[in-house]
Amino acid sequence: MKWSFVIVVNLRNVLLDTGSAGTIFSADVVDAIGVKIEPGDFLNKIRGVGGVEVVYSKQFDFVQAGEATLEGFEVEIGEMNYGIEIDGIIGFDYIQSAGLVIDSKELTVRARD
């Protein structure tokens, strides 16, 4: 008999950032499900308002934000020491690929109909 498992981590403090090109998760949070840097992982420097950060990338089987799920989605992993408690940033790469609709008047986000 072949077993298959899905390991899930819920990110509670996530920023939806249309100005961020990429999606990034906290290394501390994904460490809880065994996601760690491995030999052969490529390190990259990203720049933003908070400065420069070194990250590595991992492809996740799926990433779900609300009702929107993307399979085989690549996420950057970093320390995210920004002076605020944050588990991740959903960047424009996810927003566009998932077709998220942001209603700035109602302050809601939904998957495209």
What is the C-alpha to C-alpha distance for residues 83 and 63, in angstroms, rounded to an integer? 25
User: pLDDT tens for residues 53-70?
Assistant: 899 999 998 899 888 999
Question: What percent of the chain is modeled with pLDDT above 90?
Answer: 61
- Domains identified in the chain and CATH numbers: 14-111 (2.40.70.10)
- Beta-bridge partner residues of 55: 44
Question: How does 34-62 read in b/e, with b if 16+ C-beta sit within 10 Å?
Answer: ebeeeeeeeeeebeeeeeebebbebebee
Give the per-residue pLDDT at 39: 92
